[in-house]
Chains A and B, each alone.
Chain A
Amino acid sequence: MKRLTGIGLLLLFCAVWTTNAQRTTSLKINEVLVINEDNFMDDYGKKYPWIEIYNSSPGTVNVAGCFLTNDINQPKMYMVPKGDVLTKISPNQHVLFWADNKATRGTFHLNFTLDSLKPNFIALFDSDGRTLIDSITVPAGQQADISYGLIEDGWDQKRLEEELRLNSGYIEKKGDKLWIYFEKVTPSSNNKILETNEKIDNFKENDSTGVGMTLTAMGVVFVGLLLLYLIFKLIGRIAVGLTHRRVMKTAGVTKEQAKGISEQSGDVYAAIAMAIYEATELHDEENTILTIKNAARHYSPWSSKIYTLREAPKR
């Protein structure tokens, strides 16, 4: 029972741990526009501030049941309604919420608005209303039609620091701030517009002959198989040592003798097995017992009688 409970708990842990990666914790507040004068319009043709939520996971995440608020003391200010298919956010995609204080206009219309004169705190809480998923304070003094967003979709400080560490040219290109202003706003589309494949362009520019790729990749292949070789050389030695010890113990022989016995090749064992088989199983004269050989029938569950019969009661 204890064992079963243990296995059950382990499976539960695995399930919770793996699914969490694709749950609401992957959602990010991605871009905010506080003053919408001549910008994106809602379905009613009106211009209001908007908040973009981004799904940074590789799986679809449903934002329904989560809470959006502009007041940390009221985390349950606006619950994203359940039952709307549009609240399912595809991997690396977005949804846009209108901060128009007109919640009756539909799923994506919030019951609060953003203040253009003060800093705006925005938070996304999980469906329990307690777990903070993400929050941002948009500074005061926002300009009209210029949004405030993450430097790249779904990034956090750790990811930015990693990029700054790996890519020295990043600061010159993009800067070192996680949140930046976008003159070219990108509601419901990626903050970073991909026009080319950077990886491939990089290879085209720096490794046009393929020598770099060859050296790197072959290095990795060799290292991988070399590690496997070293591990199994070690394991092999241990296994051989254990076999010697076992032979010494059971046959009562010296280490050298045990080595001789246990290092017999498979050919020798095959020859011994064949000799035993020939001596005991094969014979030139047929024995005189008549037998009725079972007729070979190809089994198929579709034609099996046993599945069409009722089972006899067991006593």
Chain B
Amino acid sequence: MNFLSFLGENLQVFWTYTGFANVTVGHGIMILVGLLFIYLAIAKEFEPMLLIPIGFGILIGNIPFKDAGLQLGIYEQGSVLNILYQGVTSGWYPPLIFLGIGAMTDFSALISNPKLMLIGAAAQFGIFGAYTLALTMGFEPNQAGAIGIIGGADGPTAIFLSSKLAPNLMGAIAISAYSYMALVPVIQPPIMRLLTNKKERLIRMKPPRVVSQTEKILFPVFGLLLTCFLVPSGLPLLGMLFFGNLLKESGVTRRLAETARGPLIDTITILLGITVGASTQATQFLTKDSILIFVLGAISFIIATTAGVLFVKFFNIFLKKDNKINPLIGNAGVSAVPDSARISQIVGLEYDPTNYLLMHAMGPNVAGVIGSAVAAGVLLGFLG
């Protein structure tokens, strides 16, 4: 073999290792999806903290390569991405995210008007609406439970539950949950307008009372004891959520609270986003099930929003005139903190520029986080 043919053969071998030689239509589609996520995050500012890592993760996960045992892909044991992905598969990223959420959430709106908690419960109908539909579409009960949790509009909860109930569907479920969370400003307002009349949209709610420090400290303690005694399977999420909140409200662990809501949650968000994105390798992701999951995800968001708004209207029947709740905050029960609360504010201001609903909407919004974690615990208990 002369030197030139040796070089030629080497180049030929090299070519087989390149992405160009291994690319498929599926890779192309997924790369376009990743680019779309990045575009939506930068140009439209839809959940950029999530969509940028996930979008870029999709690009990373869909660089085609020859399976030559080089430990490159996220599904190859021992690869760097695989090691980082273990936080998702074994379910320890989501509780750490919840720790940060707890440390940054102010539950004052909920404590000052605790009846708003029930809106957060009502919106969980989205989860079980999607569960029922998924069963009729032929999914197994455990898969249906994992898909249904998309309606909780809570990414970490969706990842946590799907990693336990249906690990093979986790990529599609996570992407679907985060996509629809980013699309909350598109999905919710038409439903809110459709289900309310002008008079209801103009309801002014009583300003929340000032909540004492003691009440704020008692909230995570009682919250943990009550919810976890009822649903121990929700412990990883609820335990960390309330622990983070106690760090914030105790007033004596400022450094810990700042770490939890700052560097820790940022680090985990980066790792979670990039690995969930990378887990969407075209070969694993582009299936009929993924498409069905996206359809069910959209339906679950619609049901959740509808249930939240209708529940407020129903609740108002029993409330005194000066205690009525503006049904435009019903959508906030679907969690997706704080976007859905922000939507309540924006839609409310369209009809009365002096009616600020944000603080009121934060009540059902954070109740939705608790409600979806409880619902996840129930599903895990029954189907895990």
**Are A269 and B117 within 8 A (Cβ)?**
no
A224-B230, A229-B117 are contacts. A265–B207 as well, Cβ < 8 Å? yes
Tell yes or no: B136 within 8 A of A by CB: yes
Contact residue among B140, B209, B210, B215 (Cβ-Cβ distance under 8 Å from A235)? B215
Q: Is A199 touching B215 in the complex (CB atoms < 8 A)?
A: no
Among the stretches A33-41, A175-183, A200-208, A299-307, the one at the interface with B is A200-208
| Cβ–Cβ contact A228 & B136, under 8 A | no
Does B382 touch A at the CB level, under 8 Å? yes
Once the chains bind, are A199 and B117 in contact (CB under 8 Å)? no
Q: How long is the Cα–Cα vector from A239 to B112 in the complex, in angstroms?
A: 10
Q: Contact: A269 with B230, CB < 8 Å? A: no
* Contact of B135 (CB < 8 Å), options: A208, A235, A269: A208
Question: Which positions 212-264 of chain A face chain B at CB distance < 8 Å?
Answer: 213-214, 216-218, 220-229, 231-233, 235-236, 239-240, 242-243, 263
B209's partner among A223, A232, A240 (CB-CB below 8 A) is: A240
Q: CB within 8 Å of A: which of B87-131? A: 110-112, 114-115, 117-118, 120-122, 124-125, 127-129, 131
Q: CB-defined interface of B216-259 with A at 8 Å, one 1/0 digit per residue? A: 00110011001100110000000000000000000000000000
B375 within 8 A of A: yes
Contact B215 A239 (CB under 8 A): yes
B327 on the A face (CB < 8 A): no
Q: Is the CB of A236 within 8 A of B111?
A: yes
| Residue from A209, A210, A267 whose CB has the most chain B CB atoms within 10 Å | A210
- B383 near A217 with CB under 8 A, answer no
Give the residue of A200, A211, A222, A236 whose beta carbon is less than 8 angstroms from that of B112: A236
**Chain B residues whose CB sits within 8 angstroms of the CB of A218 once the complex forms:** 121, 124-125, 128
When C-beta atoms are compared, the residue in chain B nearest to A268 turns out to be B207
B10 at the interface (CB under 8 A from A): no
Say whether chain B's binding surface is mostly helix, strand, loop, or mixed.
Answer: helix
Q: Does A266 contact B (CB under 8 A)?
A: yes
The answer to whether A210 and B131 have CB atoms under 8 Å apart is yes
Considering the chains assembled together, what is the distance between the CA atoms of A209 and B137 in angstroms? 10
A267 near B382 with CB under 8 A, answer no
Contact between A231 and B383, CB atoms less than 8 A apart: no
Tell whether, in the assembled complex, residue A210 and residue B208 are in contact, meaning their CB atoms are under 8 Å apart: no
Among B209, B223, B375, the residue within 8 A (CB) of A217 is: B375
Query: Does B374 have its Cβ within 8 Å of any Cβ on chain A?
Result: yes
Residue of A nearest to B116 (CB): A229
A217 to B371, CA, bound (A): 11
Chain A residues contacting B141 (CB-CB under 8 Å) are 200, 203-204, 207, 210, 213
Q: CB distance B115 to A229 under 8 Å?
A: yes
Check if B214 is an interface residue, CB within 8 A of chain A: yes
CB pair B382 A213 closer than 8 Å: yes
Q: Is the CB of A232 within 8 A of B230?
A: no
For the complex, give the distance between the alpha carbons of A213 and B149 in Å: 13
**0/1 interface trace, chain B 306-328, chain A, CB 8 Å (1 if under):** 00000000000000000000000
Interchain CB contact (< 8 A) of A221 among B121, B209, B382? B121
Enumerate chain B residues within 8 angstroms of A220, measured Cβ to Cβ. 230-231, 374, 378
Q: Contact at B222–A228, with CB atoms within 8 Å?
A: yes
A269-B210 contact given A210-B132, A218-B128, A227-B230, CB 8 Å threshold: yes
Would you call B12 an interface residue if the criterion is a C-beta within 8 Å of the partner chain's C-beta atoms? no
Interface size on A, residues (CB 8 A): 39
Contacts of B212 in A (CB 8 A): 239, 242-243
Name which residue of chain A comes closest to B143, CB basis. Answer: A200
Q: Is A214 within 8 A of B131, CB to CB? A: yes
**Chain A: minimal CB distance from B352 (Å):** 16
Q: How far is the CB of A218 from chain B (nearest CB, A)?
A: 6
Docked pose: A4 CA to B129 CA in angstroms: 53
Residue B144 lies at the interface, judged by CB distance under 8 Å to chain A:
yes
Determine if B375 and A225 form an interchain contact, defined as CB atoms under 8 angstroms apart. no
Q: Mark B170-191, 1 if CB is under 8 A from A, else 0.
A: 0000000000000000000000
Q: B162 at the A/B interface (Cβ < 8 Å)?
A: no
A11 to B222, CA, bound (A): 22
Chain B residues 341 to 384 lying within 8 A of chain A, measured CB to CB, are 367, 370-371, 374-375, 378-379, 382-384
CB nearest neighbor in B for A217:
B378
Residues 36-85 (chain A) with a chain B CB within 8 angstroms: none
Task: Assess the B111–A225 pair: CB atoms within 8 A.
Answer: no
A229–B114 Cα distance when bound, in Å, is 5
Tell whether A200 pairs with B231 under 8 Å between CB atoms, given A218-B124, A228-B223, A232-B219: no
Contact at B210–A222, with CB atoms within 8 Å? no
A214 and chain B: residue at smallest CB distance: B128
Would you call A235 and B231 a contact (CB within 8 A)?
Answer: no
Chain B residues with CB under 8 A of A242? 212
A225 to B141 alpha-carbon distance, docked (Å): 25
Taking the complex as formed, is B281 at the interface, i.e. its CB lies under 8 A from any CB of chain A? no
Q: Answer whether residue B142 sits at the interface, using C-beta atoms and an 8 A cutoff.
A: yes
Q: Which one of A208, A224, A233 contacts B226 once the chains associate, using CB atoms below 8 Å?
A: A224
**CA separation between A204 and B115, bound complex, in Å?**
36
B-side contacts of A214, CB under 8 Å: 125, 128-129, 131-132
Chain B positions within 8 Å of A222 at CB level: 118, 121-122
Least CB separation from B227: chain A residue: A224
Residue of A211, A235, A267 with highest tally of chain B CB at under 10 A: A235
A199-B384, A221-B375, A269-B210 known; 11 new pairs, CB 8 Å cut-off, are: A200-B141, A214-B128, A214-B131, A220-B230, A222-B121, A223-B230, A224-B121, A225-B120, A227-B230, A229-B118, A235-B222
Chain A residues close to B by CB (< 8 Å)? 197, 199-200, 203-204, 207-211, 213-214, 216-218, 220-229, 231-233, 235-236, 239-240, 242-243, 263, 265-267, 269
Can you spell out 16 A-B residue pairs with CB atoms less than 8 angstroms apart? A209-B132, A210-B144, A213-B145, A220-B230, A221-B121, A221-B124, A226-B118, A226-B121, A228-B114, A236-B112, A239-B212, A240-B209, A242-B212, A265-B207, A265-B209, A265-B210
| 3 nearest CB pairs, A to B | A265-B207, A210-B132, A214-B128
